Amino acid sequence: MAIDYLPLLIMIVLGAGFGALVLILPAILGPKETNSQKLEPYESGIIPFSDARRRFPVKYYLVAMLFLIFDIEVIFLYPWAAVLRDLRVFALVAMAPFLLVLLVGFIYEWKKGALKWGE
């Protein structure tokens, strides 16, 4: 039932409301004073050395793609795990090709060095 998710909705509303509040209140109440220190991305952090809006390495795309694929795998494992005890060996046999195919992919990306970030 959708009513079971009422706590979730309250949580979302509270979270969004609090986020809006801490953005709006300082704008109204806080003193307005600007200097170069205030415009830095991090206070007391590393001094920015270049524009953040540059092209990022293609490795980020690969990481996102691998995450997406194994994320989908986990989603499909979840209903299967719920019935594993009832179906026993049958469920294991039915799932084996799916897992093996993705295991082949995993070994492939590992051997290709897709999991290595540096050289």
Partner 1 sequence: MPELPPLPTISQLVFTGFALFTCASALGVVLARNLFHGALALVATLFGVAGLYVMLEAEFLAVSQVLVYVGAIATLITFAIMLTRSMMYGKTSPLNRQWGKTGLFAVMIFLALYGFVGSIPWADSAPAVLADESMIAALGVEFVTNYVVAFEVMGLLLLVALVGAVMLARDNN
94-100 contacts at long range (C-beta below 8 A, 24 or more positions apart)? none
Q: Which tokens go with 3?
A: 């009513």
- Min separation Cβ 8 and partner 1, Å: 8
Count of residues that bind partner 1 according to CB under 8 A: 53
CB 79 within 8 A of CB 98: no
Among residues 18 and 61, whose Cβ is nearest to partner 1?
Answer: 61
Q: Which tokens go with 81?
A: 């795990």
Residues that bind partner 1 (CB under 8 A): 1-5, 8-9, 53-56, 58-69, 71-76, 78-84, 86-87, 90-91, 94-95, 97-99, 101-102, 104-105, 108-109, 112, 114
